[in-house]
């Protein structure tokens, strides 16, 4: 059985609706849809260790995951499937989900970080696999590569900030086509679409679905910077435009995801392929006075779609809570491969089959820069505790008060004690796991700053 994992950057769960994403809504109606899937972090760096390695971000010292030669207990889904005989390939245009942060582990091919030049990309992958990533030579080449890659993109006349989903589809389908005729070789393909990530600059035909007049790329980027960095200055009219631009990007993703699934069907491989559609985190478009995905744990940021098309399973809707750390165990289970012993999550198929109840706890964390003081615990019954470091704590019953307004805070409720104890235990456990463990990329590394700037997190 083949596996296609499609992750979308910054896609809120509530956009999987006929108004915005009708094709994905139809896909979900014919598949197994988990309606309460929770991201284990509010950003790509915080979420992708969970997706690829079933590992909480706060359990790793640094960003990304450790390199393959570091030893230790971390194993990626791609490594597990590769060991089981799968051909593996990944396609991403987010540096924080790239080989620079060791997410190339287990992939035969990884197209990453906006490389429009095949030769440049081949050189980069050779460097990553053959040089000490902590050494001065590697770091010098990595920084030079980042600048050269940007030059290639400019020279190639790329109109948009990120490589579009249709281009990633083409790359992945070339990989699928190359497997045609290979005896008994199943494949695993991962695509990470960046289109719903700010700046929202969808092609004009998609903007026209939500706006009378399409905005220029320059105007889209201006609004994105304003909403992300100066939200207090955004007018009501501008917030509405930002929401429409975000919806336009989601609509574009909708068409491209359908095109990818249709292409698998046209090639006669869909009936032999499990397709999982999810997101690394959600997005705010004016809620709580923010745009984008700040290091906070509002429902708009942590609730994500999670849809599983399995050729041998009937359509179903599963309301029990799952987490992104369940992604790798679920996909391993789907194809009958043993899960890695040190994965933190568990297979979501157990919920479909009724063998277990909803995952009682979902935890989220962000970074060392705030000493992991920003975190959350979400219980399966909808009770949720947010710790936003110096901004304090908030406790909500999100089923009763989904807007999570300050006046809805229930820190005085009996449920608070259980939430606080569970979150304390989680933080203590994460701290113990970080101590003496192999390291990812240091958050103070100059490369990290460059990537934050590239993705619009720093002005």
What number of helices (H) and strands (E) belong to the chain?
A: 14, 17
What would the pLDDT profile of 176-199 be if each residue is shown by its tens digit?
A: 999 876 666 899 999 999 999 999
Q: Work out the mean pLDDT of the chain and round it to a whole number.
A: 87
> Distances in Å between the alpha carbon of 65 and those of 43, 46, 157, 433, 439?
15, 11, 33, 13, 7
What would the pLDDT profile of 228-240 be if each residue is shown by its tens digit?
A: 989 999 999 999 9
Per the CB < 8 A criterion, the answer to whether 115 and 124 are in contact is: yes
Question: Is residue 374 in a domain?
Answer: no
- Residues near 55 by beta carbon (within 8 Å), at least 6 away in sequence: 49, 65, 74, 325, 343, 344
Give, to the nearest 10 degrees, the angle between helix 446-454 and helix 136-155. Answer: 20
Q: Which of the pair, 339 or 158, is modelled with greater confidence?
A: 339
Domain span at residue 180 reads 2-116+158-360
Measured in degrees and rounded to the nearest 5, phi and psi for residue 302 equal: -100, -15
Question: Is residue 15 in a domain?
Answer: yes
Task: Kindly tell me if the per-residue pLDDT of 404 is higher than 80.
Answer: yes
Per the CB < 8 A criterion, the answer to whether 268 and 307 are in contact is: no
> Which of 63, 28, 66 is CA-nearest to residue 47?
63
Q: What is the dihedral of CA 11, 12, 18, 23, to 10 degrees?
A: 30
Question: Is residue 145 in a domain?
Answer: no
Measured in degrees and rounded to the nearest 5, phi and psi for residue 436 equal: 75, 5
Per-residue pLDDT, averaged over 54-73, amounts to: 90
Q: Which of the pair, 144 or 225, is modelled with greater confidence?
A: 225
Provide the strand spans (E) within 84-240: 87-92, 109-111, 187-193
Per the CB < 8 A criterion, the answer to whether 177 and 267 are in contact is: yes
Per the CB < 8 A criterion, the answer to whether 337 and 84 are in contact is: yes
Question: Rounded distance, CA 325 to CA 89, Å?
Answer: 20
Question: Is residue 259 in a domain?
Answer: yes
Question: Rounded distance, CA 43 to CA 65, Å?
Answer: 15
What would the pLDDT profile of 3-18 be if each residue is shown by its tens digit?
A: 999 999 999 999 999 9
Question: Is residue 408 in a domain?
Answer: no
Measured in degrees and rounded to the nearest 5, phi and psi for residue 398 equal: -70, -15
Q: Given this model, what pLDDT does residue 136 score? A: 54
Domain count, the chain: 1
| 14: CATH | 3.40.720.10
Question: Is residue 432 in a domain?
Answer: no
The CA-CA-CA angle for residues 419, 13, 20, to 5°, reads 160
Question: Is residue 67 in a domain?
Answer: yes
Per the CB < 8 A criterion, the answer to whether 248 and 210 are in contact is: yes
Question: Rounded distance, CA 187 to CA 176, Å?
Answer: 8
Question: Is residue 100 in a domain?
Answer: yes
What would the pLDDT profile of 71-101 be if each residue is shown by its tens digit?
A: 889 999 999 999 999 999 999 998 888 998 9
Q: Predicted confidence band at 248 (pLDDT cuts at 50, 70, 90)?
A: very high
């Amino acid at each position: 059985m083949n596996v296609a994992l499609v992750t979308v950057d910054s896609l809120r769960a509530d956009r999987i609706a006929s108004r915005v994403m009708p094709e994905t809504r139809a896909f979900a109606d014919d598949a197994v849809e988990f309606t309460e899937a929770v991201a284990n972090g509010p950003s790509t760096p915080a979420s992708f260790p969970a997706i690829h390695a079933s590992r909480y971000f706060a359990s790793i010292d640094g960003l990304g995951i450790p390199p393959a030669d570091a030893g230790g207990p971390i194993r990626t889904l791609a490594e597990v499937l590769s060991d089981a005989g799968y051909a593996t390939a990944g396609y991403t245009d987010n540096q924080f989900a790239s080989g620079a942060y060791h997410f190339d582990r287990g992939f035969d091919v990884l197209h990453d970080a906006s490389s429009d030049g095949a030769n440049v990309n081949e050189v980069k992958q050779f460097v990553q696999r053959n040089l000490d990533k902590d050494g001065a030579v590697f770091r010098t080449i990595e920084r030079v590569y980042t600048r050269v890659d940007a030059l290639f993109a400019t020279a190639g006349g790329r109109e948009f900030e990120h490589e579009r989903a249709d281009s990633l589809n083409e790359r992945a389908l070339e990989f699928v086509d190359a497997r045609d005729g290979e005896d008994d070789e199943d494949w695993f393909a991962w695509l990470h679409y960046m289109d719903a990530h700010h700046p929202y600059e969808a092609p004009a035909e998609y903007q026209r679905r939500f706006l009378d007049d399409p905005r220029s790329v320059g105007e889209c980027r201006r609004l994105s910077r304003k909403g992300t960095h100066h939200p207090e200055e955004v007018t009501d009219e501008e917030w509405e435009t930002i929401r429409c631009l975000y919806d336009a990007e989601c609509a574009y993703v909708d068409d491209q995801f359908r095109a990818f699934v249709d292409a698998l069907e046209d090639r006669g491989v869909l009936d032999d392929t499990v397709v999982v559609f999810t997101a690394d985190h959600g997005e705010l478009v004016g809620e709580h006075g923010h745009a984008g995905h700040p290091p906070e744990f509002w429902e708009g940021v942590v609730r994500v779609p999670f849809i599983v098309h399995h050729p041998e399973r009937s359509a179903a809707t599963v309301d029990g809570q799952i987490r992104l750390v369940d992604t790798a165990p679920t996909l391993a289970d789907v194809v009958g491969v043993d899960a890695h012993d040190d994965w933190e999550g568990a297979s979501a198929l157990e919920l479909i089959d009724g063998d277990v109840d909803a995952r009682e706890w979902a935890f989220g964390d962000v970074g060392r820069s705030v000493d992991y003081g920003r975190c959350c615990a979400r219980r399966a019954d909808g009770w949720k505790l947010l710790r936003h470091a110096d901004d304090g704590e908030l406790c909500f019953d999100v089923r009763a008060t989904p807007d999570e307004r300050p006046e809805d805070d229930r820190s005085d409720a009996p449920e608070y004690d259980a939430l606080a104890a569970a979150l304390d235990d989680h933080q203590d456990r994460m701290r113990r796991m970080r101590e003496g463990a192999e390291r990812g990329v240091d958050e103070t590394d100059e490369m990290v700053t460059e990537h934050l700037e590239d993705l619009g997190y720093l002005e």
